[in-house]
Amino acid sequence: MTTRWIRGAAVVAAMAGGVTACSAPGGEAGADGAADTVVIGVASEPDTLSPLLGYGKDGNSKIFDGLLARDAELKLRPALAQALPEVGRDGLTYTYTLRDGVEFSDGEPLTSADVVYTYETILDAKTNNTSRSELDAVKDVKADGDDKVVFTLKYPYAPFAGRTVLPIVPEHVAGAQDPNTGSFNAKPVGTGPYVLSAWRKGEKLTFKANPHYWGGVPKVKTVTMAIIEDDDVRATRLRSGDLDGAVLPPNLAAAFKSDSDKKTYDAKSYDFRTVTLPQENKVTADRAIRQALDAAVDRKAMVDKILDGAGRAAYGPLPVDDPWFAQGIERNQDLARARRILDQAGWKTGTGGIRAKGGQKAAFTLLYPSGDKVRQDHALAYASDAKKAGIDVKVESATWEVIEPRMKDDAVLAGGGSTGDPDFGLYTLLHSSLAGDGFNNMARYDDSVVDAALDTGRRSQDPGARKQAYDSLQRELVKNPGYTFLTHIDHVYVLADRWTGLTTQLEPHEHGFASGPWWNLEDWQPKP
């Protein structure tokens, strides 16, 4: 997960503000049907375009490449590396040989020094990358000549190869700047299929095909990301022809099903919607309140009514069809149990049916980001279910700039979820060492059983021991919920039907320009 793991549909999610987000993207939309130009509507824009600060860390960046990448089935494949890594017998060394002839978009060659610089800078505590814990296993990274890189780990880390989809930056450009404040953050140079040509903050980003791309120059020559916060506005602009494609909620995407010149693409995901229950709020810190909320919520109704069936009930951070899911933790709405838990904990029914204990009302605020209809609907349904148990949840919309300083004390309708390995998403979501670290562990959750399971899952090479650890973690989350997990949502995209070679992947929470049917944009071919 990135530091912005809660922020919705974007590469590195961050809400864009202002009226400019609803303006036309400079007349660049593909309304004329040109197959070499595409304009995509997404809900938010990146904070930064630097991988040193977390951009594109899970792969599929259009500006950068990692040593490895993932195919349509999420299997690791070589990218900047010639082949998958050679792994030492002890599981502590990973050796990569670089692909010949790769150049950055400025024409300079890729070398092992660029790989070393990228990883060492991210691991440097002075760099503002709150995803650093994802590379905790790395002891050091060394160049072996110009074309080989050797990673040495502190301990065997089973999914390490999956971490090397992280994009590589050029030392000759980024190395001369402060990684936190340098111009590279907004003017990147990479090895990927596209080059940033313009960025109007809050409005759009425009990309051009990279003529130096080692994989061949893409057929789609110009790509624009139009930043449109509001779901309804995004759908309206797609219908008008101002956009070629967009990320849409399921109910809005359904209106395009009968449109003969557009296609709808559905992607299953690990993307969950959840309510953070901050430990520093007197009400949400009470375990009985958290357990009662977990029992009171009607997850299946949310899937049916809010998602129009395009999703699954979430009983924890992992979806029910994941091989690591703990069987038997599925649970239906049980208002009688919710009321019983509160009664036994001394929360007595008072005025208006709202409970109180020791003079403290069972009431708290739930924030959701403005313009996100799906999160708004989840928040309102959650509040309605909570009230049936005697808990008053006040739903309030706000920009992320307002939400961020308040999330220590107020609940947030958040999102998260990572593919590849359970460690990739669960550690940053739940480990107590990351409580309050940016957008990691927003609820400041602290549970010794969960911490121990996370540490075992991260450090063990034994698949059986890892499975048992993540199983115990999920069962502990039922007993001591720091979040109320609601749904796993399918990602739905609508796109003009002018290209071939389009597919979708099983997706993480982060989605937008680098996901959906445009995850492999560089491989698209115009329809004959």
Helix then strand count (H, E) for the chain reads 13, 24
Q: Is 129 helix (H, G, I), strand (E, B) or coil?
A: coil
Contacts of 448 (CB under 8 A, 6+ apart): none
The whole-number pLDDT of residue 251 equals 86
Pairing type for strands 311-313 and 483-489 reads antiparallel
- Helix (H) or strand (E) segment spanning residue 425: helix 422-430
Q: Is 102 helix (H, G, I), strand (E, B) or coil?
A: coil
Q: Is 1 helix (H, G, I), strand (E, B) or coil?
A: coil
The whole-number pLDDT of residue 513 equals 66
The answer to whether 58 and 266 have CB atoms below 8 angstroms apart is: no
The answer to whether 440 and 130 have CB atoms below 8 angstroms apart is: yes
pTM of the complete model: 0.86
Residue 145 to residue 297: CA distance in whole angstroms? 58
pLDDT in tens, the chain (528 residues): 333 333 333 333 332 222 223 334 444 445 456 889 999 999 888 889 999 999 998 888 899 999 999 999 999 999 999 999 999 999 999 999 999 999 999 999 999 999 999 999 999 999 999 889 899 999 999 999 999 999 999 999 999 999 999 999 999 999 999 999 999 999 999 999 999 999 999 999 999 999 989 999 999 999 999 999 888 999 999 999 999 999 998 889 999 988 999 999 999 999 999 999 999 999 999 999 999 999 999 999 999 999 999 999 999 999 999 999 999 999 999 999 999 999 999 999 998 999 999 999 999 999 999 988 899 999 999 999 999 999 999 999 999 899 999 999 999 999 999 998 999 999 999 999 999 888 899 999 999 999 999 999 999 989 999 999 999 999 999 999 999 999 999 999 999 999 999 999 998 887 666 788 989 999 999 998
Residue 73 to residue 504: CA distance in whole angstroms? 9
Contacts of 161 (CB under 8 A, 6+ apart): 68, 76, 84, 85, 87, 94
Contacts of 56 (CB under 8 A, 6+ apart): 11, 12, 63, 64, 166, 167, 514
The whole-number pLDDT of residue 32 equals 56
The whole-number pLDDT of residue 22 equals 33
Pairing type for strands 272-276 and 411-416 reads antiparallel
Residue 193 to residue 187: CA distance in whole angstroms? 16
Domains and CATH numbers, the chain: 272-489 (3.10.105.10)
- Helix (H) or strand (E) segment spanning residue 37: strand 37-42
Classify residue 271 by burial, with Cβ atoms within 10 Å: 0-12, 13-18, 19+: buried
From the list 516, 495, 508, 345, the residue with the least C-alpha distance to 38 is 495
The whole-number pLDDT of residue 2 equals 35
Tokens matching residue 411: 């609940």
